[in-house]
């Protein structure tokens, strides 16, 4: 029996989740948003600092652990990758709780957590299409590590969509809004399709879209529709090749862009055509959240990964940590 509290703070979301014996017993968060313009890391960190205690007590309350914090066995936190000022807030809060409750710390890689949480759905050894704000990677387990089989060479898919939305003046996050506009789009506008080997590149498509937007020749509906069709097809192509290369039969989607109905539909069609199974977690676990950190933290904790006392206090954030830097000792 173990109860793990997980803290997520890599970017816009400050989340706290609690997992008991692989069951999520609470998952609370606040997400930084703007009406127009993007997110400035220092402002987001301030937002996290202002919300962390509130979210902590909400999570304890939902888990039925208010006043029973001694039942928590360890504090897991997102160590990286992410925005340094935001990661620092989460790490400092994890250390504060670790000291106060006298419990060990478990440092978790955010991308690996997106994959591990997929196990909840029954996926056993999936290829993960991790499509989030800052990250876009095709990840699968192979020979002791989570390997990156393909990734973006420049912008993350979510940031790409958000940047286009910012250009269009529709605020942050742009993904859900672009999806709505795309539903009204009728005409496909030709855009570059940029897959290089197993990687994708989005910055050229972004420049192209920006020019088209500023030329005022095209409607936002049609541009949003075409954007989705082209970049999602690129993601699906690379995911399919990762399935073919690894011989795996499961595709899992993770990250906030995975909330997009059209992207899921395209993944489903591809999986059906090649006899693979498509898995997705509920939206609350697709986006950044504390529960996936707690869930992964529990797996790591049970395999003996925990930091106490001086070692815990020495743990630092790893803003540029790569998925394949993580030594997977729990498999
Ligand atoms: P994450 O970084 O994983 O929390 O995901 C956040 C990103 O997901 C942001 O860039 C959002 O714009 C994007 N996003 C959320 N919902 C959707 C959607 N329905 N379609 C496309 N992108 C989305
Ligand atoms: Mg994420």
Residue 1, SS3 per DSSP:
coil
Question: What single DSSP character describes residue 275?
Answer: T
Distance of alpha carbon 87 from its chain centroid, rounded? 14
Burial of 304 (0-12, 13-18, 19+ CB in 10 A): exposed
Q: What are phi and psi of 40, to 5 degrees?
A: -100, 120
Distance 258 CA to ligand 1 centre (A): 7
Residues 59, 201: Cα–Cα separation, whole Å:
39
Q: DSSP letters of 138-159?
A: EEEEETTEEEEEEEBSSS-HHH
Distance 113 CA to ligand 2 centre (A): 9
Residue 121, SS3 per DSSP:
helix
Distance 262 CA to ligand 1 centre (A): 13
Residues 87, 133: Cα–Cα separation, whole Å:
15
Q: What is the pTM of this model?
A: 0.92
Residues with CB under 6 A from ligand 1: 11, 13, 132-133, 158, 161-162, 173-176, 179, 255-257, 259-260, 287-288
**Along the chain (331 residues), what's the average pLDDT of each consecutive run of 10 residues?**
97 97 98 80 96 98 97 98 97 97 98 93 95 94 94 97 94 92 97 98 98 97 98 98 98 96 98 98 96 98 96 96 91 81
Q: Sort strands 136-142 and 127-131 into parallel, antiparallel or unpaired.
A: antiparallel
pLDDT on residue 171: 80
Is there a cis peptide before residue 173, judged by omega within 30 degrees of 0?
Answer: yes
């Amino acid at each position: 029996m173990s109860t793990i509290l997980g803290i997520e703070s890599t970017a816009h979301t400050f989340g706290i989740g609690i997992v008991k014996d692989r069951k999520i017993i609470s998952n609370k968060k606040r997400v930084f948003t703007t009406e127009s313009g993007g997110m400035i890391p220092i402002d987001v960190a301030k937002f996290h600092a202002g919300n962390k205690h509130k979210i902590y007590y909400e999570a304890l309350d939902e888990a039925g652990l208010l006043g029973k914090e001694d039942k928590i066995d360890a504090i897991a936190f997102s160590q990286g990758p992410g925005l340094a000022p935001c990661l620092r807030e989460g790490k400092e809060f994890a250390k504060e709780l670790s000291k106060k409750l006298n419990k060990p710390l478990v440092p978790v890689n955010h991308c690996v957590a997106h994959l591990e949480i997929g196990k909840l759905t029954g996926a056993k050894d999936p290829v993960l299409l991790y499509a989030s704000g800052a990250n876009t990677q095709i990840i699968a387990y192979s020979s002791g590590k989570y390997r990156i089989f393909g990734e973006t060479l420049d912008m993350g898919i979510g940031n790409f969509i958000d940047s286009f939305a910012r250009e269009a003046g529709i605020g942050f996050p742009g993904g859900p809004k672009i999806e709505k506009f795309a539903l009204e789009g009728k005409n496909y506008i030709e855009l570059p399709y940029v897959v290089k080997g197993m990687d994708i590149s989005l910055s050229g498509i972004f420049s192209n879209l920006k020019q088209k937007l500023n030329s005022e020749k095209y409607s936002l509906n049609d541009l949003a529709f075409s954007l989705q069709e082209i970049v999602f097809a690129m993601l699906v192509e690379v995911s399919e090749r990762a399935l073919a290369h690894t011989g795996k039969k499961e595709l899992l989607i993770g990250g906030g862009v995975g909330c997009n109905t059209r992207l899921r539909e395209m993944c489903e069609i591809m999986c059906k055509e090649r006899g693979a199974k498509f898995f997705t977690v509920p939206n609350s676990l697709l986006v950044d959240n504390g529960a996936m950190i707690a869930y992964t933290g529990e797996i790591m904790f049970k395999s003996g990964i925990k930091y106490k006392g001086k070692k815990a206090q020495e743990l630092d954030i790893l803003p540029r940590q790569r998925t394949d830097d993580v030594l997977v000792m729990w498999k």
